[in-house]
Copies of this chain bind each other. A is one copy, B any other.
Amino acid sequence: MLFIEKAEQAHSLLHELDLDCWLTFVRETGDRPDPGVELVLGTSITWNSAFLFGKDGTRIAIVGRYDSENVRATGVFPDIIGYDEDLRESLLVALDRIAPSQIGLNYSLHNHTADGLTYGMFLLLQELLDGTPHAGKLCSAGTLLAKLRARKTATEQQRIKAAVATTETIIANLTPQIKPGLSEAAIAQIVHQEFEQRGLASSWDWDYCPTVNSGPDSPAGHVQPQDDILVEPGHLVHIDLGVRQEEYCSDIQRMWYVRRPAESAPPLDVQRAWDTVIRAIEAGAAALRPGAIGWEVDAVARQVIVDAGYPEYKHALGHGLGRTCHDGGPLLGPRWPRYGDAPLQSVEVGNVYTLELGVATSAGYIGLEEDVVVTADGCEFLSTFQRDLMLI
C-alpha cells in the first residue's frame, strides 16, 4: 500500500511541477540502490530497467524477464514488459506512447537522496535515445524526487514515530546500566544487543551507531566507541543512535551526567551549556513551519549558541529523516558551499526533521537531537524532548 500511495503522490507531483515524464533508469539496485526504486517499487531489480511515470497517469515498467514476476507482485505498475536481450525497443515504444516534451531523470547536484542515476547509466541512456525524437528531452527530476521523498504520508510519519518510540525504550533500558568503569564500547554493546533482540538494523553504520562519548577526551564525530575510554564521575555521557524499523529511521541524541561523590547536580558551566542547547533547539523548533527557508531556521538556533558565547556547531541544525537517516530535502543548515542549494529551499508540511546541536564543556560534549514533523502551522515533536540531563 505504501508504494502505491507514493506512486500516486508521484503522479500529483508531475502535475504540480508540470513535468510530462519521470524515468528511473537503473540496474542491479541490490548493490546500487536508487531513490526512485526505493520510493515507488520497494523490490530490487537486476538487468537494465526503466520505470516510467507519465503525467497522463501512465505507469510502465520495462525489466529483465527474471524480474518481471516480482515487479508484478508489487502492484504498482499496470504495464510491465519483461525483455530478454535488449530493452531499447520497448523503451522507445513507451516513450512514444507518453510523448513527453521533457523526460525527468534521477539526478541532483546537492541532494543525494534525489541522485541515483549513475554517470555510466546516463551515458548509456543517451546512447539508447541517440537519433530518436527523445534524445534532447533529458532533464533532472530532482525536485520531484526531493518532494516525493520529503513529503511524508501518514503511513510514513507513523513509521518514523514508531522507530523513535523503540529508540526511546532502548534508552530507558540503558539508563540504569550506565555507571563508572563501563567503557564506551560496552555501552555500545548494550545498545547493539537491544537492536539484535528486536531484529532491527541501525539507522547508519552498525560500527558507529550508536556513537558513545564519555568525558572530555572522547573523540567526536562518526567514530567507533572506544574500549579504553571509561565512564568516570564528573563525565557527561553522550549517545547518538537510531534504528531502522519497517524501513524507516529514527535519529536521536541523549545525555547523562555522572555525579562525583557528594555532587547533587552537574557543575554550573555544564548546566549553563545544557540550558543553552535546550533554548537553541526550542528556538529552532519555534521557527520551523511551512514556508520557512532552511537556512533561516538554522540561523535562529545558531544565534542562541553564539549569543551565549559558545562556538558555532559545525553542521546543520536539522536534516530530513525517513527511509534513510540523512533523508535529503530542504536542509535546516547554514549556506556553506558544501551544502549547495539544500539550505535555500522551503520547508513543507509533512517534512520530518532532526533538530540537533551541541557545545563542548569541561565534562565532555553536550549534544542533543530531537525528531519533529512539520504541521500546517509549526512542528510537532515525534521524540520526547529531553529537557533535563539524566543524572547517574
* Of A9-17, A186-194, A218-226, the one with at least 4 CB within 8 A of chain B: A218-226
Are A326's CB and B119's CB within 8 A?
no
Map CB proximity to B onto A306-327 as digits: 1 under 8 Å, 0 otherwise: 0000000011000000001110
Other-chain contact of A46, B48, B119, B326, B337 (Cβ < 8 Å):
B326
A174 lies within 8 A of chain B by Cβ = no
* Of A103-111, A268-276, A278-286, A382-390, the one with at least 4 CB within 8 A of chain B: A103-111
Closest to A87 in B: B338
A298 lies within 8 A of chain B by Cβ = no
Are A65's CB and B314's CB within 8 A?
yes
A3 lies within 8 A of chain B by Cβ = no
Other-chain contact of A33, B31, B84, B337 (Cβ < 8 Å):
B31
CB neighbours (8 Å) of A315 from chain B are 66
Closest to A34 in B: B32
CA distance A73 to B227 in the complex (A): 14
Are A221's CB and B88's CB within 8 A?
no
CB neighbours (8 Å) of A116 from chain B are 32, 118
Are A28's CB and B326's CB within 8 A?
yes
A124 lies within 8 A of chain B by Cβ = yes
Q: Interface on chain A toward B: helix, strand, loop, or mixed SS?
A: loop
Supposing A48-B338, A86-B338 touch, asked if A70 and B115 sit within 8 A by C-beta, the answer is no
A345 lies within 8 A of chain B by Cβ = no
Are B120's CB and A118's CB within 8 A?
no
Supposing A84-B314, A85-B337, A224-B73 touch, asked if A27 and B66 sit within 8 A by C-beta, the answer is no
CA distance A118 to B111 in the complex (A): 11
CB neighbours (8 Å) of A85 from chain B are 336-338
Supposing A28-B326, A221-B68, A224-B70 touch, asked if A117 and B115 sit within 8 A by C-beta, the answer is no
Supposing A66-B220, A85-B336, A337-B88 touch, asked if A326 and B109 sit within 8 A by C-beta, the answer is no
| Chain B: minimal CB distance from A342 (Å) | 12
A69 lies within 8 A of chain B by Cβ = yes
Closest to A86 in B: B337
CA distance A88 to B108 in the complex (A): 18
A44 lies within 8 A of chain B by Cβ = yes
Chain B CB within 10 Å — which of A46, A83, A112, A119 has the most? A119
With A28-B324, A124-B340 already in contact, 5 other A-B pairs whose C-beta atoms are closer than 8 Å: A28-B326, A46-B326, A85-B336, A85-B337, A119-B121
Are A326's CB and B69's CB within 8 A?
no
CB neighbours (8 Å) of A222 from chain B are 46, 66-67, 69-70
Closest to A83 in B: B338
Are A124's CB and B112's CB within 8 A?
no
Supposing A27-B112, A324-B31 touch, asked if A221 and B69 sit within 8 A by C-beta, the answer is yes
Are A69's CB and B223's CB within 8 A?
yes
Other-chain contact of A66, B87, B221, B337, B340 (Cβ < 8 Å):
B221
CA distance A111 to B315 in the complex (A): 36
CA distance A84 to B86 in the complex (A): 46
